[in-house]
Amino acid sequence: MLNLDYNFADQHDQLYNELLLLHDGLDADQSQALNARLILILMNHIGDADVLREAFKAAQL
């Protein structure tokens, strides 16, 4: 089951900031590419096809 409850252990501001820092100095295409790589890494970590399909749906709003 996809977890859509809060799960950041109070580190969300810190991690959000680190995510943005990753993009420092990148142009739009490089940023897109970085986001894509990041999504693929996280998808692999999750692995479970059902969970991932639920996430695909959730992202469509």
Residues of this chain that interact with other proteins (CB under 8 A) are 4-8, 12-13, 16-17, 19-20, 23, 26, 28, 31, 58, 61
Residue 4 makes CB contacts below 8 A (sequence gap 6+) with: 58
CB nearer to other proteins: give 27 or 50.
27
Q: What share of the chain is helix, strand, coil (3-state, %, to 5)?
A: 65, 0, 35
- Cβ of residue 43: shortest distance to other proteins, in angstroms? 17
- Cβ of residue 1: shortest distance to other proteins, in angstroms? 14
Tokens 């809060």, residue located: 6
